[in-house]
Structure 1
Amino acid sequence: MKNQNSLAIGLMTFAMFLGAGNIIFPPFLGLEAGTQYIPAMLGFLVTAVGLPALTLIVFGRLSDSAQLTKALPRPLAIAFWVLLFTAVGPAFAMPRAVTVAYEMGLKPFVSGDHLMAFSSIFVLVTLLLAFQRGKLVDYIGKIMTPLLVLMLAALAVAAFITPLGPLNIPTLDYQHKAVTSGLIQGYMTMDAIAAVGFGWIIIKAIRDKGCESPKEIFSATLKVTLVYAFLMSACYLALAYVGATSGSIAEGVSNGGELLTRYVAVVFGPLGQYLLAGIIIMACLTTTVGLTNACAEYYQQTFRSPFAMTATIVALLTGIIANFGLEQILTISLPAILILCPIAIALVLTAFVLPTTKRNSVSFVTIVFISSVLGTVDALSILGLLPESLSSLCAKYLPLFDAHASWFVPVIFALVISKCLSTKSKNPEVGLEQASTTK
């Protein structure tokens, strides 16, 4: 694949990942990290960028997104994908993107409630762009993303050339365990689960550019992943630095969106709010377009559903939920997201280590079971629904429970055992020789 195509797909990938949350979250993290900015961001980038990048690389090696769950029984595989695309699609991520785009992109400039009109237009534009399947790389990768990068670059240049002040004093969490806190916060972005969804779009885009053999697809995926990882890391570092040097305007700030709004008002004046509005709307739009395509691609490939019909249903549900039921849906879907994320990461790690064949079905099912059970425990803990007695017990016996990753060590342990058994089964003569030597 030509380098310009790799760059274009990499830009598209970056734009799809860069939602409003990815823009709002880093400034507040930087504000809390302060002088511990560098170690905190090193930890943050490992999980916020490293996990999604690993997911994309695994997809590139598999050459087909559906291969990720090939070792699972078909009903379990379908249940995973349907739940994932429902959660990151019309039930959670997409309605949130629409409402955030409205709250930060339009509401500051108008009076009254225009959410219904805004969401209708936003969803329509999303649908129109999603229908341009063959031109998605051209529209997002070659047009929309460069504009987004230029707007973000304006923020980055201002932050590093004319910071508002010195680095802040870090909060207690970042004074003594900056790297660990960064790792936890990066994991909580949940971009790893988005990477599993976006994998369908990225692999298809690579195939559409003429890559057919597994070697070509893997090579192209590596290039795309490097572009994504570089741009996303640069974006996170710049936005976090904005927060780390904005202590003078941060009094009473409770979230990164509020801090970023104050920052652009001070640095860019009246035009700052328009700059921020443009960044947020563009970021949310590229995310909803990508997720609409990912959902439709999956249903078309798995159930032979017409692409246009599935995309339209996803977009309509997104618009309806954004207007009438977001809070209720979030209450229901957030636990699903928190549970699905460990399962998705566990599947990616397993596919990275073991071949995704039916011969390894027991290993895949076991690891999914472990990540599901302990992911549920973590989700209940995050939501404050875990009984105090059980929480104390988990904190005592489950490694990384306080980091909301109690599933990680057991999954790695199960993965090591599975790999050892798999290696031994491939070389039965080794076991016979060892037995003979023992005798």
Structure 2
Amino acid sequence: MKKQNLLAIGLMTFAMFLGAGNIIFPPFLGLEAGTQYLPAMLGFLLTAVGLPSLTLIVLGRLSSSGQLTQALPKPLAIAFWVLLFTAIGPAFGMPRAVTVAYEMGIKPFVEGDHLLIFSVLFVGATLLLAFQRGKLVDYIGKVMTPLLVLMLAALAVAAIVTPLGVFNAPSADYQYKAVTSGLIQGYMTMDAIAAVGFGWIIIKAIQDKGCESPQEIFQATVKVTVVYALLMSACYLAMAYVGATSASISEGATNGGELLTRYVAEIFGPLGQYLLAGIIIMACLTTTVGLTNACAEYYQQTFRSPFAITTIIVTVLTGVIANFGLEQILAISLPAILILCPIAIALVLTALFLPTTKRNVTAYVTIVSITVVFGSLDALHILGLLPEPLVTPLNDYVPMFEAHASWFLPVFAAIAISKILARKANSEAVELSEKAASLK
């Protein structure tokens, strides 16, 4: 593949991942980390960028996102993908992107409620770009992303050249365990689940540019992932630095969005609001286009559903939910996402060590079952729905429960045991084959 095509797909990948949350979350993290900025960001990047990167590389090695669940029984595999695309698509991810784009990109400049008009225009733009599936790399990778990178670079350069202050003392969570706190916060971005969904588009884009063999697809995926990882890491570091040097304007701020709004107003004046609005709207638009295409790509390949019809349904549902039912849908879909994310990561980790073939169906089903059990505990804990008498013993006896990752060690143990059993079975099969050959 030509280098410019690899770069364009890498830029497209970065833009699809870069939602409003990826921009407004790091500033508050940087503010809380203060003088522990570097160790906190080291931990954060390991999970916030490392997990999605690992997911993309594993999917590239499989040459198809669908192969990730190939070892599972078909009904279970379909249920996983349908729930995933529903949750990150029209039920949660996309409506949230629409409302955040409106709240931060339009609402500060207008009076009254214009969400309905904005959402119609926004999902309309999403639909138009999504229909250009063959030109998605050109539109997002070669046009929209460079503009987005330039706007983010303006914020980063301003923070470095004219910082508003010095690093504060770290908050309690970052004072003694900065790396661990960063790891937890990076995991909670849940970009790993988005990586599983976006894998359908990225691999398809690579194939459309001429890569056909598994080796070519894998090599291209690794290079695309490097571009994504470098850009996303730079973005996170810059936005966190903005927050870390903004203590003088942070009083009363409760989230990174407020902090970033104050920062751009202080540095750039009235024009700063327009700059931030442009960044947020464009980041949300590239995300909704990517999610729409991922949903449509899956339904077309799995159910032979026409791409255009699926795209229209997804965008229409997104617009409706963004206006009338987002809070209720969040209450329903957030627990699903909190459970689906560890399942997705567990499948990726398993695919690293065990072939995704029906021969390993028992191992895959066992690992998914373990993840569902412990992932449900983590989800209930995060949502504050776990009975208090259970929290203390779980904290005491379940490793990584406090970090909302109690599923990790049981899953890793199950993978290790499955790998040992698989090797033993292969060794016995070889011995039987050799004995049969000697008898002949």
TM-score bucket (shorter structure) = over 0.9
Partner of 1:339: 339
What is the CA–CA distance in structure 2 between the aligned matches of 1:93 and 1:384, rounded to whole Å? 22
| Amino acid across the alignment from 1:254 | T
For residues 261 and 124 of structure 1, the distance between their equivalents in structure 2, rounded to whole angstroms, comes to: 27
Separation of aligned partners in 1, 2:36 and 2:395: 27
2:112 aligned residue: 112
* TM-superposition CA deviations, 1:115-155 (whole Å, max 9, x none): 00000000000000000010000000000000000000000
Does 1:310 pair with 2:310?
A: yes
Q: How does 1:35-434 map to 2 (within 5 A)?
A: 35-428=35-428
> How many angstroms apart in 2 are the aligned matches of 1:389 and 1:86?
34
Amino acid at match of 1:264: V
2:17 and 2:130 mapped to 1: Cα distance? 16
Offset from partner CA, 1:20-75 (integer Å, 9 cap, x none)? 00000000000000000000000000000000000000010000110000000000
Q: Map Cα deviations across residues 131-184 of structure 1 (whole Å, 9 max, x no partner).
A: 001000000000000000000000010111111111111101000000000000
Letter in 1 for 2:46: V
State how far apart, in whole Å, the 1-side matches of 2:409 and 2:430 are: 29
CA apart distance, 1:111: 0.4
1:436 alignment counterpart: none
Q: Is the 8 A contact 1:48 1:186 kept in 2?
A: yes
1:429 offset after TM fit, Å? 7.0
For these two proteins, the number of residue pairs brought into alignment is 433
Contact 1:193–1:344 (8 Å) recurs in 2: yes
**TM-score relative to the length of structure 2:** 0.97
- Hey, what's the Cα distance between the residues in 2 that align with 1:429 and 1:89? 45
Structure 1 residues 303-339: Cα deviation after superposition (integer angstroms, max 9, x where no partner): 0000000000000000000000000000010000000
Q: Unaligned stretches of 5+ in structure 1?
A: 434-439
1:393 deviates by 2.0
CA distance in 1, matches of 2:127, 2:240: 33
Question: Aligned partner of 1:342: which letter?
Answer: P
Greater than 3 Å deviation, 4+ residue runs: 429-433
- 1-structure distance, mates of 2:18, 2:270: 25
Aligned to 1:437: none
SS at match of 1:427: helix
Q: Distance in 1 between matches of 2:271 and 2:169?
A: 30
Look up the SS of the partner of 2:169 in the other structure: coil
Per-residue CA deviation, residues 338-380 of structure 1 (Å, 9 max, x unaligned), is 0000000000000111100000111110110011111000000
Query: Deviations for 1:251-294, whole angstroms, at most 9, x for unmatched residues?
Result: 01000000000000000111000000000000000000000000
Gap runs ≥5 in structure 2: 435-440
Distance (Å, rounded) in 1 between the aligned partners of 2:277 and 2:47? 28
Mapped to 2, the partners of 1:319 and 1:117 lie a distance apart of 10
Contact 1:102 1:118 in 2 (8 A): yes
CA distance in 2, matches of 1:42, 1:5: 30
Q: 2: distance between equivalents of 1:16 and 1:357?
A: 30
CA RMSD of aligned residues (A): 1.1
Contact 1:339 1:376 in 2 (8 A): yes
TM-fit CA distance, 1:431: 8.1
Go from structure 1 to structure 2 and tell me whether the alpha carbon gap of 1:249 and 1:305 turns closer, same or farther (over 3 Å shift).
Answer: same
> Is this contact kept in 2: 1:424–1:430, CA < 8 A?
no
Letter matched to residue 373 of structure 1: V
> Does residue 17 of structure 2 align to residue 17 of structure 1?
yes
Instruction: Measure how far apart 1:396 and its partner are.
Output: 1.7
Q: Deviations over 1:199-240 (max 9, x none)?
A: 000000000000000000000000000000000000000000
The 8 Å contact of residues 424 and 431 in structure 1, kept in 2 or not, is answered as no
CA distance in 2, matches of 1:383, 1:287: 25
Matched letter for residue 354 of structure 1: L
CA offsets per residue over residues 369-396 of structure 1, 9 Å max, x none? Answer: 0111110000000111001111122112
Letter in 1 for 2:193: I
Q: What SS is found at the alignment partner of 2:104?
A: helix
Q: What is the rounded CA distance, in whole Å, between the counterparts of 2:11 and 2:153 in structure 1? A: 14
Partner Cα separation in structure 2 for residue 81 and residue 308 of structure 1: 19
CA distance in 2, matches of 1:415, 1:2: 38
